[in-house]
Structure 1
């Protein structure tokens, strides 16, 4: 049984049912299954969380079952495909005369198997997708990916099904924004003609950014169509002519420190016009903006009727967070869930405190005594970077919230400080967009880690 032929047939079946080709993870699951590998081994080979691999597999088998007309699972997938090949071969033999080397007429396609080809018919192993041009050289290589099934599905749906043009992915330091985006790009990049990852820094002006992209587009078009002196088009024209996925990481570098969230630095003000153009003009591409804070013009709450979406990332669930502690040898400690809850399932925070516990040889039960919050120096450094970006007004509000052990409402905050109601509302909105405060109905609070950090300043 030829592995590539099996994968091609499986791809055709999935495409016939869903309208989408196998993504990298689905293909890895089928490849590993054919080779007799367990989910654990497959997850290790592709550096992915095992529970997520199992979840993707569980959704893949029913699709193949319906197309094959029998109940297919990981155990019998190989034998089911072998039976399919025998069936296909039999259909070809039915058309071959005794002693003849010619096939009379076209082979019949078996039920539910689109575009099937007999073994003697020349076939192409490549998927029928558009030419893909990628510049992912700035996309980081990350370690284990911890389960974000819901968030991945939300982003995938927004991009591939709802055709959103502008998406912001925000969250506090270490929450896993870039890791999620990397996993997303790996899974959906083949749905686009162009996939580009760009990390924004202090040197990337709007002119340089647009020049880099249009150069990539024009060079690729020259390679595909052969003209040697094609004139470069405005960026929006390329986005309209081609299906593009553009990821901008560290988008907060466009904004001022010491100001409310999302205020552009003077030299980056033209990015505002670019983002508005991407949102308003009709095109078939998507920009994904990743950072500590979104642009001011992108609301946190968006409507299904708009081409923009916002996803503010929160901590991992307990099962996924345990994977982090397991890597540090702490998964089976007492009060494991309490430790995860205290550090809000933040991957970076958990790694930092787990390393400290491991190096000092102290027990988690000791750490959890008297509501102790450990703040290792590396964690404080990370928080300091983001705290330094806040305005003086926001710092005042954070100081007020740090004195409150319970969530408080707007009226209580107004009574406790020398801040006008208008300034207080603006500061709360900005801190919420930076993910520094939590809102529970009409109440505001700080997480235990951030409260401890603010008190220690």
Structure 2
């Protein structure tokens, strides 16, 4: 749904007008008057018009998030303000099914760096990568809210459901052109060209969640599925063409098109998301767990994966009366997180699965030469390096560099999953 919010200058005018009326911020008259403007009388109906609530009023005054257009205009009319004078110019947003991020923990470093890439460095494509449950989707929404003022249009879409590329392009073209480009091309090439015109005509932010759903399974990481090769062409076109817009995508694995054209000083970059670290304590606190001194051990066990920790924390409350020590004395519990790991594991090639099982059976990190020695009778060095690179692009192996060289290992939860699967 399209949304509006006030500009910085608009917020100052709103504040001034509100003071002139003399009503306290929490006065219900703001809501009643706005509701009446939209045709619903509070006195007669006992309820407010759609979109008029304490929440939208608070967001209207804060100006950090957009609210639906009718409510924005109604609040402005109550304040006797011309809405066009206070609205962020050409502000158009479509959040579709983006999750609520009002509860958000940490990620300050990631948000600052990503904002720098997109706002200051003018990156055209930014890929947020990480294993399932690590928080990519939530971060993409939080980032979009944080940088939305730098764009004229913003659209967020999930690729779950595997939408055909021409359908997705049609949605993007219609929205970004403000319904002006209705003569959509019947060819993929034509729609790609029409999209690029939109990206050049104004600064747009496009967020595409769950990119892994259009990638192939059973082969090395990052290759498009059969019939979805056009998505790779979309990335190449957006990453290599001149424009001022930005595509942000989230994925379990790095698309090969991103790997081919990314670089620290180039307009295409990727960020591999890690666990929350100490910020994950907020999750455990909200769940009401006991023995705070043991929380760090619990967090490390699941490498700060927010989804895994939420599942585990619920289990600790339900089955261990909130006692972290009792839980830690037992076996590593995966719960519903195991289904997510299974979904990722089944995407791997057979060689990658063998690698994970081998790594999962060793408590210590393993060097590349050790892997080579173990698999020397099965594969060449080239194949080994390709498989390692693929697992790294899938964010399923942890790479450790020290004075003795480069070593590879698995997170405890993933190691537990593969050893349980292949006893």
Q: Distance in 2 between matches of 1:410 and 1:6?
A: 54
What SS does structure 1 have at the residue aligned with 2:258? coil
Q: Deviations over 1:162-194 (max 9, x none)?
A: 100001001111111111111111222232111
- Give the counterpart of 2:348 among 375, 382, 390: 390
- Give the counterpart of 2:339 among 373, 378, 381: 381
For residue 207 of structure 1, report the CA deviation from its aligned partner: 1.1
Structure 1 alignment gaps of length 5 or more: 13-33, 37-44, 47-55, 57-121, 223-227
Partner of 1:445: 409
Q: 1:302 to 1:279 in 2, by over 3 A?
A: closer
Q: Distance in 1 between matches of 2:179 and 2:216?
A: 35
For residue 415 of structure 1, report the CA deviation from its aligned partner: 1.6
Q: Is contact 1:400-1:416 (8 Å) kept?
A: no
- Give the counterpart of 2:255 among 284, 291, 295: 295
Q: Distance in 2 between matches of 1:315 and 1:301?
A: 27
For residue 201 of structure 1, report the CA deviation from its aligned partner: 3.2
State yes or no: 1:275 paired with 2:230. no
Q: Is contact 2:10-2:86 (8 Å) kept?
A: no
Q: Is contact 1:218-1:230 (8 Å) kept?
A: no
- Give the counterpart of 1:264 among 220, 224, 242: 224
Q: Distance in 2 between matches of 1:144 and 1:5?
A: 23
Q: Distance in 2 between matches of 1:183 and 1:218?
A: 25
State yes or no: 1:197 paired with 2:156. yes
Q: CA RMSD in A?
A: 3.0
In terms of Rg, which structure is larger? 1
Partner of 1:148: 107
What SS does structure 2 have at the residue aligned with 1:289? strand
For residue 127 of structure 1, report the CA deviation from its aligned partner: 4.9
Q: TM-score scaled to structure 2, two decimals?
A: 0.74
Q: 1:123 to 1:214 in 2, by over 3 A?
A: closer
Q: Distance in 2 between matches of 1:213 and 1:263?
A: 23
Q: 1:439 to 1:344 in 2, by over 3 A?
A: same
Structure 2 alignment gaps of length 5 or more: 14-23, 27-54, 57-63, 65-80, 186-190
Q: 1:123 to 1:250 in 2, by over 3 A?
A: closer
Partner of 1:416: 374
Q: 1:221 to 1:339 in 2, by over 3 A?
A: same
Q: 1:229 to 1:431 in 2, by over 3 A?
A: closer
Q: Deviations over 1:67-116 (max 9, x none)?
A: xxxxxxxxxxxxxxxxxxxxxxxxxxxxxxxxxxxxxxxxxxxxxxxxxx
Q: Distance in 2 between matches of 1:309 and 1:399?
A: 31
Q: Distance in 1 between matches of 2:399 and 2:275?
A: 15
For residue 140 of structure 1, report the CA deviation from its aligned partner: 2.3
State yes or no: 1:134 paired with 2:93. yes
Partner of 1:181: 140
Q: Distance in 2 between matches of 1:281 and 1:262?
A: 21
What SS does structure 2 have at the residue aligned with 1:234? helix
Partner of 1:325: 284
Q: Deviations over 1:271-304 (max 9, x none)?
A: 1111111111110100001111121121399534
Partner of 1:307: 267
Q: 1:125 to 1:396 in 2, by over 3 A?
A: same
What SS does structure 2 have at the residue aligned with 1:266? coil
Q: 1:6 to 1:332 in 2, by over 3 A?
A: farther
For residue 313 of structure 1, report the CA deviation from its aligned partner: 0.4
- Give the counterpart of 1:356 among 310, 315, 329: 315
Partner of 1:66: none
Partner of 1:236: 196
Q: Distance in 1 between matches of 2:6 and 2:172?
A: 37
Q: Distance in 1 between matches of 2:246 and 2:144?
A: 12
Partner of 2:276: 316
For residue 234 of structure 1, report the CA deviation from its aligned partner: 1.1
Q: 1:246 to 1:11 in 2, by over 3 A?
A: farther
Q: Distance in 1 between matches of 2:283 and 2:94?
A: 31
Q: Is contact 1:431-1:437 (8 Å) kept?
A: yes
